[in-house]
Amino acid sequence: MEEQGSGGNNFIRHYINRDLETGRFDGRVVTRFPPEPNGYLHIGHAKSICLNFGIATDYHGHCNLRFDDTNPEKETPEFVAAIERDVAWLGFQWHDRPLYASDYFEQLYHYALELIEQGKAYVCEQTPEEMRLSRGTLTQAGKASPWRDRSVAENLQLFTEMRQGKFGDGSRVLRARIDMASPNMNMRDPTLYRIRHGVIHHQTGNEWCLYPMYDYTHPISDALEGITHSLCTLEFEDHRPLYDWVLENISLPHHPQQIEFSRLNLQYTVVSKRKLLRLVSEGHVSGWDDPRMPTLAGMRRRGYTAASIRTFCDRIGVTKADNSVEMGVLESSVRDDLNHNAPRRMAVLQPLKVIISNYAADCEELLTAPNHPQRPEMGERVIPFSREIWIDRDDFREERPNKHFKRLVSGGEVRLRNSYIIRCDRVEKSETGEVVTLYCSYDEQTLGRNPADGRKVKGVIHWVSAAHAVAAEVRLYDRLFNRPNPEQVAEGEDFLHSLNPQSLTILESCYLEPELAESEVGVSVQFEREGYFCLDSEQEHGGRPIWNRTVTLRDSWAKIEEQREQ
Ligand code: ATP
Ligand code: MG
């Protein structure tokens, strides 16, 4: 038999291959991605999306998008829409239409009645505090609830009345009747249903005041959809016995296999929706799509490509080992993609005026430059050249600081990228001694040629014609937290303590080559020698378009780690 699913190699595919060999699930493979619509998707979700959709594709099965919407207080239609947008942007197509756990509320209720009829569920009137105290500990068995041995008839009556809205929030729950002495705390008569009045559910409105718990809803939703392999993160390993118990005790014949894998953690950021929500609601970032956020919306706005995120998920793989991935791994996936695909442009981020004295003021010429030096098929663009240009302040020193400095110095020469060689003849300074203008002369024989007299000019710097430049605001992003594991906080400390106050640097006055006036939002280009940048989705700030730095040219994280280790 031809081996299926060879598109990747992980222990989950090993299980699936075995199920295919033994004919379990009639040779079908159906997966699902089950987000709760209580926040935006983050890079951790991308791992789960790539895994679930990737497996479905490779095994010629399908993958459902199912909203796990049993917590209406925290869920909104905005989050539902954002999740759909992000999954599609990442490049995946769910089967049929988006599904909702709430589609199954009626069936879930019906199966709860089945459990009650078998004496396997009961209505409990303990307060949450009493329930907590009687649950026991890891070393001590729990104590049975005084309501545990109610008759089936009474339980049916009470549960029906719970649905009808006769009881207040928190006054009663439906509990599974399993084993108060189980070594697995999840099996000590877990709650299956709770009462919530007065919330409007984004899908079911005010139809229900009874809401099923995740651990009860998930196995049944999976089974109803014919899911074969229910992939979830490791923290659900201890819940698997309950997943199986629910399906073993109701009349639904299908029983999916739950398989757990480790969550993705990414250094210098957090991937917990609860924490991301705090960053947003307390205003530490501008929103869920702030380019510093590890959300898919934030990464898209910052210029990350969907392909590079998929590559990243491929590279980190899927295992059962908990780990924290270096940010450099994600950024190198982005860089690899953009290095190959992003057109090259010139932009001056810290402008210093250069006047080319021997170039006529009423003259200009149109130079051409390749869009990508290694990929001629990407074509060329036109770059205007004129008497006044901008160069970067960092590319000039009055005195050569060391022999490695190949850029412009007083009296020295440098090549303007894609253009002529210029010599710095005179430096004009302000009263405070700041260099304001360089007066240079150009060598008109040096366009695309070395000097005829054989003199060597090694440095090449970028520039932009002042008369033609597009003024822009450029935003540079740094890590959001200044600790590799911001989620690990000391007692009494908050994860926000390690927020990096320097995560955003705004350069208000930058100049871009005119080609960049027509740019597509979110599509990165390389600013030569500076990094990759893209036009922001916000229209402008102070009359200027905003550009985001997607990623630097080289790995700046390695340096941060080096400094930390010293
Ligand atoms: P969070 O802790 O961010 O709230 P969650 O698990 O509650 O995450 P869900 O919306 O329930 O968020 O997640 C949908 C799916 O994505 C689940 O199957 C979950 O296991 C998976 N997932 C969530 N976070 C990660 C992560 N960091 N790495 C891998 N998979 C994840
Ligand atoms: Mg969850």
Q: pLDDT exceeding 70 applies to what percent of the chain?
A: 96
Give the SS3 label for residue 550: strand
| Beta carbon of 233 within 6 Å of any ligand 1 atom | yes
Beta strands of 484-545 (E only): which ranges?
504-512, 525-527, 531-535
Burial grade of 148 (CB within 10 A; 0-12, 13-18, 19 or more): middle
| Beta carbon of 239 within 6 Å of any ligand 1 atom | no
Does the pLDDT at position 306 exceed 70?
Answer: yes
Q: Which residues pair with 345 in a beta bridge?
A: 527
Query: How many other C-beta atoms lie within 10 A of the C-beta of residue 94?
Result: 21
pLDDT one-digit tens code per residue, 484-529: 999 888 888 899 999 999 999 999 999 999 999 999 999 999 999 9
Give the SS3 label for residue 73: helix
Does the pLDDT at position 295 exceed 50?
Answer: yes
- What number is the average pLDDT over the span 255-273? 97
* Token duo for residue 457: 């000019």
Question: Hey, CA dihedral for 180, 182, 183, 184, is it positive or negative?
Answer: negative
Does the pLDDT at position 5 exceed 70?
Answer: no
Considering every ligand atom, which ligand is closest to the CA of 33?
1
Does the pLDDT at position 7 exceed 70?
Answer: no
List, by residue range, all CATH 3.40.50.620 domains of the chain. Answer: 25-261
Say what the pLDDT of residue 436 is.
98
Q: Of the listed 66, 150, 175, 273, which one is catalytic? A: 273
Beta strands of 25-157 (E only): which ranges?
30-33, 62-67, 99-100, 121-124
- The helix (H) or strand (E) run that includes residue 241 is helix 240-248
| Beta carbon of 35 within 6 Å of any ligand 1 atom | yes
Residue with tokens 């005790």: 249
Which numeric CATH code is attached to 347-461? 2.40.240.10
Which numeric CATH code is attached to 25-261? 3.40.50.620
Superfamily of domain 273-343+472-565: Ribosomal Protein L25; Chain P (2.40.240.10)
Q: Length of the chain in residues, anyone?
A: 566
Question: Can you say whether residue 356 is alpha, beta or left, with left for phi > 0 and alpha for psi between -120 and 50 degrees?
Answer: beta
- What number is the average pLDDT over the span 420-425? 98
- The helix (H) or strand (E) run that includes residue 367 is strand 364-370
How many Å lie between the centroid of ligand 2 and the Cα of residue 37?
9
DSSP state at residue 498: G
Say what the pLDDT of residue 2 is.
38
User: Is 560 or 206 the better-scoring residue by pLDDT?
Assistant: 206
Test site for ligand 1: of 52, 218, 233, most ligand atoms within 8 A of the Cβ: 233
